[in-house]
Amino acid sequence: ADVKKIAVIAGDGIGPEVVAEAIKVMKKTEELFGYRFEFEHGLFGGIAIDEKGTPLPQETLDICKNSDAVLLGAVGGPKWDNNPKELRPETGLLGIRKALGLFSNIRPANVFDCLKDASTLKPEVLEGTDLIVVRELTGGIYFGEKFRREGAQGQEAVDTCVYNVTEVERIVRQAFEIAQTRRKKLASVDKANVLETSRLWREVVNRIAPEYPDVELEHVLVDNCAMQLLRRPSSFDVIVTENMFGDILSDEAAMLTGSIGMLSSASLGEGAFGLYEPVHGSAPDIAGQGISNPIATILSVALMYRLTFGYHDAAEAIERAVKEVLDAGHRTGDIAVDKSKAIGTVAMGDLIVNAI
Residues forming the active site: 142, 191, 223, 247, 251
Tell me how far, at minimum, the Cβ of 251 lies from a second copy, in Å.
4
In the region spanning residues 38 to 77, those forming contacts with ligand IPM, defined by CB under 6 A, are: none
The reply to whether 82 sits in an annotated binding site is: yes
Q: Does 194 bind ligand IPM (CB under 6 A)?
A: yes
SS3 call for 114: helix
The reply to whether 251 sits in an annotated binding site is: yes
Tell me how far, at minimum, the Cβ of 187 lies from a second copy, in Å.
15
**Torsion 232-235-241-246 (CA) sign:** positive
**Torsion 28-29-34-38 (CA) sign:** negative
Residues 6+ apart with CB under 8 A from 319: 299, 302
The reply to whether 122 sits in an annotated binding site is: no
What distance in Å separates the CA atoms of residue 312 and residue 294, rounded to the nearest whole number?
21
Stretch that binds ligand IPM, among 48-56, 87-95, 204-212, 323-331 (CB under 6 A): 87-95
User: With respect to ligand IPM, which residue has the nearer C-beta, 93 or 200?
Assistant: 93
User: With respect to ligand IPM, which residue has the nearer C-beta, 194 or 328?
Assistant: 194
What distance in Å separates the CA atoms of residue 114 and residue 40, rounded to the nearest whole number?
35
Stretch that binds a second copy, among 106-114, 144-152, 261-269, 343-351 (CB under 8 A): 144-152
> Measured between alpha carbons, how far apart are the two ends of the chain, in Å?
20
Taking residues 79 to 108 in sequence order and writing x for each that binds a second copy by CB under 8 A, - otherwise, the string is ---------x-x---x--------------
Residues 6+ apart with CB under 8 A from 212: 176, 177, 179, 180, 186
Q: Which does 165 bind (CB under 5 to 8 A by kind): a second copy, ligand IPM, none?
A: a second copy
Nearest alpha carbon to residue 135 among 55, 71, 192, 190: 190
The reply to whether 154 sits in an annotated binding site is: no
The reply to whether 247 sits in an annotated binding site is: yes
Query: What is the CB neighbour count within 10 angstroms for residue 266?
Result: 21
Q: Does 130 bind a second copy (CB under 8 A)?
A: no
The reply to whether 201 sits in an annotated binding site is: no
Tell me how far, at minimum, the Cβ of 224 lies from a second copy, in Å.
7
Contact 294, 270 (CB under 8 A): no
State which of residues 20, 87, 114, 125 lies at the interface with a second copy (CB under 8 A).
Answer: 125
Tell me how far, at minimum, the Cβ of 235 lies from a second copy, in Å.
12
What distance in Å separates the CA atoms of residue 19 and residue 291, rounded to the nearest whole number?
13
Strands 274-278 and 264-268: antiparallel
Q: Would you give the DSSP letter of residue 182?
A: T
In the region spanning residues 115 to 144, those forming contacts with ligand IPM, defined by CB under 6 A, are: none
Q: Does 208 bind a second copy (CB under 8 A)?
A: no
What distance in Å separates the CA atoms of residue 115 and residue 327, rounded to the nearest whole number?
10
Q: Does 223 bind ligand IPM (CB under 6 A)?
A: yes
Instruction: Name the helix (H) or strand (E) containing 297.
Output: helix 295-304
Stretch that binds a second copy, among 20-28, 29-37, 186-194, 297-305 (CB under 8 A): 186-194
Taking residues 253 to 292 in sequence order and writing x for each that binds a second copy by CB under 8 A, - otherwise, the string is -xxx---x--------------------------------
Question: E strands, 214-263, where?
Answer: 216-221, 238-241
State which of residues 38, 50, 113, 156 lies at the interface with a second copy (CB under 8 A).
Answer: 156
Q: Does 225 bind ligand IPM (CB under 6 A)?
A: no
Longest dimension (CA), the chain: 68
- Angle, helix 295-304 to helix 312-327, in steps of 10 degrees: 160
Q: Does 82 bind ligand IPM (CB under 6 A)?
A: no
Tell me how far, at minimum, the Cβ of 195 lies from a second copy, in Å.
5
Q: Does 227 bind a second copy (CB under 8 A)?
A: yes
